């Protein structure tokens, strides 16, 4: 909102220095803070100290620019002959900060990977995220509440639940975000774009709470359900937002060792049901889901079944580093009766279902991790440019520029590798991706999360105390540091993925000698 058109001279502002009339200037805009002095979260005395003065430097050392938008009602005009300089971004805007956007979004660079429909989608998802997800995500982080049904319905209507499953028939006939992209033309670069945009609020728990369980679980139903009518019913219920689904593989005993699962599914004598007993731990969204895509031990191996919340299913919230907004749960199955028609893939061959599911899941996590690191880089560049210490900007110190250079390089390198792998995904059938891309995706994911570790570490060094404070300027840095580790563990820990990547590369090793 533009300040009122009235203008004042700096001399006029200087006359308002008492509690009866206290004005100050921030970015050439005059604020009458008389009514705000008592309510100022930073206290009264600091405002008295800047009464009648230009408080721009003091303000930007302690507040995010958005505070001015929130309190625009105190703006009474501008300084005659001056114009506010600080940009107020609007929903959907690209950031003008160097390296805040991937190269393909910069007007001066070109990319072979993206076309106009990717650009339309990027703009539309960013606007949607900023208008409808950001504030709720941060409110839910604070309250621990789950994503509202209103937002789920809005995303479903916009086709954003369908897009989370990646390209495929489930998107046919879907007009994404009012038709900016048709479901039929949605490819893995569109998938990359929406995966990277949706996480920009940097509210990590709310990001997983935003139907993360569906993203990694419904794919197993879409690819491995044995009855097309049943598959459509489940997919329709979930993609319309009426029912919620999550993936329940990990266990307290087995961790991510899928072969070591202990949850059992024993067939009833009439062969019509499985009786499931066991526990699952760290199940994202489990606290409020209706369907659980569950790894179980059957007679001769591992199987995957869809279990509906019913008698014998109990879920309990687990406290994790982020708030309870992700609905992370401990689940117990106590003699739960599951129709055999809920089997996904073949009995005792569930490992194929799980392994093939992993690729898209890990790739989505990688998109998210790189995008989040980039947002942190943006925060650090802006902060280094505005923070004054001993009369100099932080960025004027070579040590800070070294840190920024390292962070930028890590993010850019991983983004380029991600785009190269995504290009392969666009040109390879899903089943072949498991063979040729499982290794590269595993290596890329661990590279992205190692980079996130470095970015998190350097960012706090740059931000100091603000980077470990949950409210105020450094809130994104604090959140990132508290939660970046999730990606280094979920979907396969870094060590497991590194090992997988190298072992896969060695599988077809030729008789090559030095």
Which residues make up the interface to ligand HEM (CB under 6 A)?
A: 24, 26, 31, 33, 40-42, 46-47, 49-50, 55, 58-59, 62-64, 67, 71, 74, 472
58 versus 234: smaller Cβ distance to ligand HEM? 58
36 versus 113: smaller Cβ distance to ligand HEM? 36
Residue 236 CB, shortest distance to ligand HEM, in Å, is 43
Element (H, E) at 499: helix 494-507
Parallel, antiparallel or unpaired: strands 75-79 and 313-317: unpaired
Residue 393 CB, shortest distance to ligand HEM, in Å, is 18
Residue 78 CB, shortest distance to ligand HEM, in Å, is 14
Q: By CB neighbour count within 10 A (0-12 exposed, 13-18 middle, 19+ buried), where does 110 fall?
A: exposed
**Contact status, residue 313 vs residue 291, Cβ threshold 8 Å:** no
Residue 64 CB, shortest distance to ligand HEM, in Å, is 6
Closest C-alpha to 265, from 353, 343, 358: 343
Residue 466 CB, shortest distance to ligand HEM, in Å, is 7
42 versus 173: smaller Cβ distance to ligand HEM? 42
Q: By CB neighbour count within 10 A (0-12 exposed, 13-18 middle, 19+ buried), where does 493 fall?
A: middle
112 versus 391: smaller Cβ distance to ligand HEM? 391
Residue 67 CB, shortest distance to ligand HEM, in Å, is 5
Parallel, antiparallel or unpaired: strands 29-32 and 291-298: unpaired
CA 319 to CA 325: how far, in whole Å?
A: 10
Residue 56 CB, shortest distance to ligand HEM, in Å, is 9
59 versus 146: smaller Cβ distance to ligand HEM? 59
- Token code pair at residue 384: 């280094």
Residue 472 CB, shortest distance to ligand HEM, in Å, is 4
CA 313 to CA 77: how far, in whole Å?
A: 61
Per DSSP, the residues of 146-160 read PPPHHHHHHHHHTTH
Residue 59 CB, shortest distance to ligand HEM, in Å, is 5
Phi and psi at 82, nearest 5°, equal -120, 155
Closest C-alpha to 40, from 345, 55, 264, 108: 55
**Contact status, residue 220 vs residue 307, Cβ threshold 8 Å:** no
307 versus 462: smaller Cβ distance to ligand HEM? 462
Per DSSP, the residues of 94-150 read PP-STTSS-GGGSTT---SS--HHHHHHHHHHHHHIIIIIHHHHHHHHHH-PPPPHH
Mention every residue, 6+ apart, whose C-beta is less than 8 A from residue 169.
none
**Contact status, residue 209 vs residue 326, Cβ threshold 8 Å:** yes
47 versus 193: smaller Cβ distance to ligand HEM? 47
Residue 7 CB, shortest distance to ligand HEM, in Å, is 18
47 versus 121: smaller Cβ distance to ligand HEM? 47
Residue 36 CB, shortest distance to ligand HEM, in Å, is 6
**Alpha helices (H) along 199-335:** 204-209, 212-224, 228-239
- Tell me how crowded residue 424 is: count the other CB atoms within 10 A of its CB: 15
32 versus 396: smaller Cβ distance to ligand HEM? 32
**Contact status, residue 217 vs residue 245, Cβ threshold 8 Å:** yes
58 versus 147: smaller Cβ distance to ligand HEM? 58
Residue 129 CB, shortest distance to ligand HEM, in Å, is 21
Q: Which residue is nearest to ligand HEM (CB)?
A: 42
277 versus 469: smaller Cβ distance to ligand HEM? 469
286 versus 467: smaller Cβ distance to ligand HEM? 467
Residue 159 CB, shortest distance to ligand HEM, in Å, is 35
Half-sphere exposure of 98 (CA within 13 A, CB side): 9
67 versus 351: smaller Cβ distance to ligand HEM? 67
**Alpha helices (H) along 158-272:** 160-163, 188-198, 204-209, 212-224, 228-239
Parallel, antiparallel or unpaired: strands 175-176 and 301-308: unpaired
**Contact status, residue 446 vs residue 487, Cβ threshold 8 Å:** no
**Contact status, residue 315 vs residue 285, Cβ threshold 8 Å:** no
């Amino acid at each position: 909102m533009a300040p009122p058109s009235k203008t004042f001279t700096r001399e006029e502002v200087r006359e308002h220095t008492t509690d009866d009339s206290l004005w100050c200037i921030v970015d050439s805009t005059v604020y009458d803070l008389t009514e705000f002095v008592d309510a100022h979260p930073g206290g009264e005395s600091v405002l008295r100290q800047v009464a009648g003065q230009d408080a721009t430097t003091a303000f930007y050392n302690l507040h995010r620019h958005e505070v001015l938008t929130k309190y625009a009602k105190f703006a009474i005009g501008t300084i005659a002959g001056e114009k506010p300089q600080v940009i107020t971004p609007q929903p959907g805007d690209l950031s003008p900060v160097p390296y805040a956007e991937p190269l393909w979004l910069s007007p001066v660079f070109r990319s072979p990977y993206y076309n106009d429909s990717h650009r339309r989608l990027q703009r539309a998802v960013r606007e949607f995220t900023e208008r409808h997800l950001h504030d709720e995500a941060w409110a839910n982080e604070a309250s621990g509440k789950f994503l509202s049904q209103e937002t789920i319905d809005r995303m479903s209507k916009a086709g954003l639940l369908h897009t989370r499953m990646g390209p495929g028939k489930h998107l046919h006939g879907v007009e994404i975000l009012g038709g900016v992209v048709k479901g039929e033309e949605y490819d893995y670069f569109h998938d990359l774009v929406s995966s990277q945009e949706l996480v920009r609020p940097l509210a990590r728990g709310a990001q997983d709470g935003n139907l993360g369980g569906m993203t990694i679980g419904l794919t197993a139903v879409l690819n491995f359900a044995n009855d097309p009518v049943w598959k459509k019913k489940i997919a329709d219920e979930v993609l319309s937002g009426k029912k919620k689904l999550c993936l329940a593989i990990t266990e307290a005993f087995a961790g991510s060792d899928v072969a070591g699962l202990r949850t059992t599914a024993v067939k009833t004598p009439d062969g019509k049901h499985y009786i499931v007993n066991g526990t699952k731990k760290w199940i994202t969204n489990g606290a409020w889901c209706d369907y659980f895509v569950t790894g179980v031990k059957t007679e001769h191996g591992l199987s995957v079944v869809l279990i509906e919340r019913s008698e014998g299913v109990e879920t309990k919230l687990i406290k994790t580093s982020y708030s309870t907004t992700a609905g992370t749960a401990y689940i117990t199955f106590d003699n739960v009766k599951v129709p055999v028609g809920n089997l996904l893939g073949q009995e005792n061959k569930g490992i194929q279902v799980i392994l093939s599911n992993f690729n898209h899941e890990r790739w989505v996590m990688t998109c998210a991790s790189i995008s989040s690191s980039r947002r942190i880089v943006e925060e650090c560049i802006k902060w280094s440019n505005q923070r004054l210490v001993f009369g100099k900007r932080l960025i004027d110190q070579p040590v800070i520029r070294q840190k920024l250079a390292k962070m930028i390089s890590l993010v850019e390198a991983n983004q380029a590798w991600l785009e190269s792998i995504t290009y392969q995904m666009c040109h390879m059938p899903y089943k072949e991706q498991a063979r040729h891309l499982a290794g590269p995706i595993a290596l890329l994911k661990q590279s992205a999360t190692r980079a996130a570790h470095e970015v998190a570490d350097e960012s706090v060094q740059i931000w100091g105390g603000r980077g470990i404070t949950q409210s105020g300027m450094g809130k994104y840095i604090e959140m990132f540091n508290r939660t970046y580790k999730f990606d280094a563990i979920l979907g396969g820990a870094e060590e497991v993925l590194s090992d997988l990547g190298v072992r896969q590369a060695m599988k077809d090793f030729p008789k090559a000698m030095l």
